[in-house]
């Protein structure tokens, strides 16, 4: 049975009523984030998987690690860049982007919040180094996991979320907010935005 845990980096996504509230909970521990819940559609619009364009649906509407899906879609490995991070005890949040290997164009923007109490020390150490995408680490260490998407979102051009990632004027892009369960516990909560560059 899953337990509801407390965290110094925000309340669990399971307690969020809307995707905009979840965005604020995930992102607010990081630098320069301004709350978006009051902005509504200017920040992000909730959509169904069926409402997303086909390529975005392929990238987002699944229960697999984005790292693996991005690698298959783009035909290459992806590189991780950590833009910001916050680490308090057993809880770790970071803002990242992924690029196609050795290229400057991002293929994913994201925020991930981890509860390290659900992970082995070796996995924790490798995640904190910030050298390897999260999905690749979990797969390599054979961490038992289940991925559950909770919301799909459309981020319009001019969205303050995209600007926060340094993508002023870009978009629209699509993303998802979800939870990764490790050994049946909600260990990882994340925002993943696909930018669809090929």
Q: What is the pLDDT of residues 32-41, one digit of tens each?
A: 999 998 998 9
Look at the block and give the residue holding tokens 């809307």: 18
**Where along the chain do its domains lie?**
13-194
Q: Are 114 and 92 in contact (CB under 8 A)?
A: yes
Q: Report whether pLDDT(143) > 90.
A: no
Q: Are 155 and 175 in contact (CB under 8 A)?
A: yes
Task: Give 100-119 pLDDT, tens digit per residue.
Answer: 998 888 999 999 999 999 89
Q: What's the 3-state SS for the chain?
A: CCCCCCCCCCCCHHHCCCHHHHHHHHHCCCCCCCCCHHHHHHCCEEECHHHCCHHHHHHHCCCCCHHHHHHHHHCCCEEEEEEEEEEECCEEEEEEEEEECCCCCEEEEEEEEEEHHHCCHHHHHHHHHCCCCHHHHHHHCCCCEEEEEEEEEEECCCCHHHHHCCCCCCCCEEEEEEEEEECCEEEEEEEEEECCCC
pLDDT of residue 63: 86
Q: Report whether pLDDT(90) > 90.
A: yes
pLDDT of residue 105: 86
Look at the block and give the residue holding tokens 């196609």: 100
| 197 pLDDT tier (thresholds 50, 70, 90) | low
Calculate mean pLDDT across residues 85-102: 94
Q: What is the pTM of this model?
A: 0.92
| 2 pLDDT tier (thresholds 50, 70, 90) | very low
Q: Which CATH superfamily is domain 13-194 in?
A: Chorismate lyase-like (3.40.1410.10)
pLDDT of residue 1: 37
Q: Are 81 and 103 in contact (CB under 8 A)?
A: no
């Amino acid at each position: 049975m899953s337990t509801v845990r407390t965290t110094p980096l925000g309340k669990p996504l399971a307690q969020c009523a809307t995707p905009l509230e979840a965005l604020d909970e995930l992102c607010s521990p990081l630098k320069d984030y301004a709350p978006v819940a009051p902005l509504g559609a200017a920040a992000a619009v909730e959509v169904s998987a069926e409402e997303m364009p086909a390529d975005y649906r392929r990238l987002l509407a699944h229960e697999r690690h984005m790292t693996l899906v991005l690698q298959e879609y783009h035909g290459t490995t992806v590189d991780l860049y950590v833009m910001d991070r916050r680490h308090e005890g057993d809880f770790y949040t970071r803002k990242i982007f992924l690029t196609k290997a050795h290229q400057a164009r991002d293929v994913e923007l994201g925020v991930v919040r981890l509860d390290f109490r659900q992970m082995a020390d070796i996995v924790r150490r490798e995640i904190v180094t910030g050298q390897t995408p999260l999905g690749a680490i979990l797969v390599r260490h054979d961490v038992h996991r289940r991925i559950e998407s909770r919301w799909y979102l459309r981020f319009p051009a001019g969205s303050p979320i995209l600007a926060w990632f340094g993508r002023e004027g870009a978009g629209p892009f699509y993303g998802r907010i979800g939870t990764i369960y490790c050994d049946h516990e909600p260990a990882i909560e994340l925002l993943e935005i696909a930018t669809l560059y090929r």
